[in-house]
Amino acid sequence: MKTFRDAVRTNDFVITAQLPLSPGTTADDVRHFAKVLQPVADAVQISDNSTTIPHMSPLAAASLTIQSGMDPVVHMSCRDRNRIALQSDLIGAAAMGVTSLLLIRGEKLPAAHKQRIKGVFDIGAQRLMATAQAVGANERLVAPPGFFLGSNVTVIDPPADWSADGIDTKAGAGSKFVQTQACLDLAILRKYMAALVARKALERISVIVQVPLLASMEMIGDLQRARRPLLITRQLIDRLERTGEFAVDAEEICVESLRAMTTIPGISGANIVHRGEPAAVARVITAAFGSNG
């Protein structure tokens, strides 16, 4: 089975797809997603209750994905579990054969939840990274070279004096890749990547850009309200507001964005985020890159 780590090291452009988990997602749904995406994608990314709506655990979904022949990139957040539970999950991930992890602090709980649910945040993202490195260094648990670890990064329009220290800090803490927020503003993305390249910030770390395959105007609003909001141009919003075939235009925009990102120096790949059927993601990848992903 090809792995995300191998793809980052060997492919010119890596393609992953986010597993759209919901409270109603079943084991068969996960298997179907993996079966449809296996011919065209390098890995499946599995979130950790990022929307605050409980769904199948990331480790359960990862196990089903591995059984289906695809490599999972498992997200782990500090928000919902204390350090003992997180350490247990890391050991469990190792036992299942998970090789890649995206480790994050986690989104704050929305105001509507604060009376009923409390965020844990027992440890921060850097401590979780150090813990994952310690687990990964145990050759009885994880085959060398250990876990392939990643973290989040936020694309900005960088000012002239921007130092890119955040990327250096993440690389120094053990991140081998970083993943951006959802991005459809290619002008800002080009400026951001040019600044990283100019400052030699990518010598130790790879950048994966999240690319949304939009399902509705409502999805745009949801992504724009996130802690790391969607970057999208007014031109694209206007295009989607005027269209009579939203799904068709949304797929075209995703294809156009993916193709453009392959020409931006420093970008190692993309993660496609979609809430619908995996067939739409497969169509987009095939249209952008051909049948081999």
Sequential pLDDT tens for the chain (293 residues): 889 999 999 999 999 999 999 999 999 999 999 999 999 999 999 999 887 788 999 999 999 999 999 999 999 999 999 999 999 999 999 999 999 999 999 877 666 655 577 788 999 999 999 999 999 999 999 999 999 999 999 999 999 999 999 999 999 999 999 999 999 999 999 999 999 999 999 999 999 999 999 999 999 999 998 889 999 999 999 999 999 999 999 999 999 999 999 999 999 999 999 999 999 999 999 999 986 54
Q: For residue 111, give the DSSP letter.
A: G
Residue 240, CA distances (Å) to 215, 250, 252, 257, 270 in order: 10, 7, 11, 15, 22
d(CA 66, CA 43): 10
Question: The domain that contains 116 carries what CATH number?
Answer: 3.20.20.220
Backbone angles phi, psi at 15, to 5 degrees: -125, 125
Three-state SS for 77?
strand
Q: Which residues have a Cβ under 8 Å from the Cβ of 150 and sit 6 or more positions away?
A: 73, 100, 101, 102, 103, 175, 176, 177, 178, 179, 208
Q: Please return the burial class of 115, using the count of CB atoms within 10 Å of its CB with bins 0-12, 13-18 and 19+.
A: exposed
Tally of CB atoms within 10 A around 54: 11
What is the number of domains present in the chain?
Answer: 1
Structure tokens at 130: 């150090």
What pLDDT was estimated at residue 113? 56
What pLDDT was estimated at residue 51? 76
Contact 193, 265 (CB under 8 A): yes
What pLDDT was estimated at residue 88? 97
d(CA 141, CA 127): 19
Three-state SS for 178?
strand
d(CA 161, CA 166): 14
Structure tokens at 139: 């050759």
pTM to 2 decimal places: 0.95
Helix axis angle for 27-37 and 58-67, nearest 10°, is: 50
What pLDDT was estimated at residue 112? 60
Backbone angles phi, psi at 102, to 5 degrees: -110, 115
Q: For residue 110, give the DSSP letter.
A: P
Q: Please return the burial class of 235, using the count of CB atoms within 10 Å of its CB with bins 0-12, 13-18 and 19+.
A: exposed
What pLDDT was estimated at residue 1? 85
What is the span of the domain harbouring residue 55? 4-289
